[in-house]
Amino acid sequence: MPEWLEVIWRTVFAVVVLFFLTKLLGKRQVSQLSFFEYITGITVGSIAAYVSLDTDKTWHLGIIALLVWISLSLGIEFLQMKSKKARDFIDFKSTVLIKDGKILEDNMKKERLTTDELLAELRKKDVFKVADVEFAIMETDGAINVLLTRENQPLTPKHLGVKVAPEQATQAVIMDGKIMDEPLDTLGLTRGWLQGKLEELNLTAENVFIGQVDSYGELTVDLYADSVTVPQPQEKPQLYALLKKCEADLELFSLSTNNEQAKKMYGQCSEQLQGLLKQLKPFVQN
């Protein structure tokens, strides 16, 4: 066999073997790598290159080395799942960098992290003032996670004691000019409904690069022709969708409370809002 053809064959073989071994290791190998996984990735890649290019008769030893490395990696991952001490020894421990708004200089030196690097990582988290940080920790993969002080945390409905109804995920119903039936089924919508929405915008599915429908049933589109301006959603459908969400929230409040008086009040308000929505629906469709 010609040497160039042998190199091609070995390269293809090494790629196939490496692909299946990587699948065996799982998704963590291609996401945030731990210290040992980083070493494994470099070594396995080097061995695969050896199998591809070394044309002597001992190339099969490279395959054996690959199998040994993968077996060791799987064994160590299994040990890490079973033992906290093994995890700490192999992947190191997480390190606290800021506590109660104060930087822990000794831990910074231990991780060989400069003040500029720490401030840059905080800015990536939209934090520009160290005093606003309750807790900052460097994880085993090198990422820095930040917890702001309570007064600096964003206000949420939970802080106000308000429960909100769950929202459906936005679905892509048109992609690359083609209508996607499965997302439409998930939303309980039909092709006829989608065609009607597109006709209102004087568009066809072929003109749309991507079209999405949110939890309120509002269609937004991005066209192939970037110079074309798509009409913005009208205020009436947006108001109708907002009222519909309020009705769903009231119904959720009714189901979640144990107070009979509050349950009755929420139920009555929900029924009244349902009646109002029925009266408004003909005006929204016009």
Please choose, from the candidates 89, 86, 147, 142, the residue with its C-alpha nearest in 3D space to the C-alpha of residue 112: 142
Give the pLDDT confidence score for residue 179 in this predicted structure.
92
Q: Cα(37)–Cα(28) distance, rounded to whole angstroms?
A: 9
Cβ contact 254:270 at 8 Å: yes
106 vs 28, higher pLDDT: 106
Does the reported pTM lie above 0.85?
no
Closest CA to 234 of 218, 250, 245, 222: 218
Per-residue pLDDT, 145? 93
Comparing 212 with 31, the larger pLDDT belongs to: 212
Contact 173, 167 (CB under 8 A): no
- Mean confidence (pLDDT) of the chain: 79
Element (H, E) at 4: helix 3-25
Confidence check: pLDDT of 13 > 70: yes
User: Contact at 8 Å (CB) between 135 and 147?
Assistant: yes
- Confidence class of residue 15 from pLDDT cuts 50, 70 and 90? confident
pLDDT category, 64, cuts 50, 70, 90? confident
User: How many other C-beta atoms can be found within 10 angstroms of the C-beta atom of residue 166?
Assistant: 8
List Cβ neighbours of 21 (8 Å cut-off, separation of 6 or more): 44, 66, 67, 70
pLDDT surpasses 90 at 174: yes
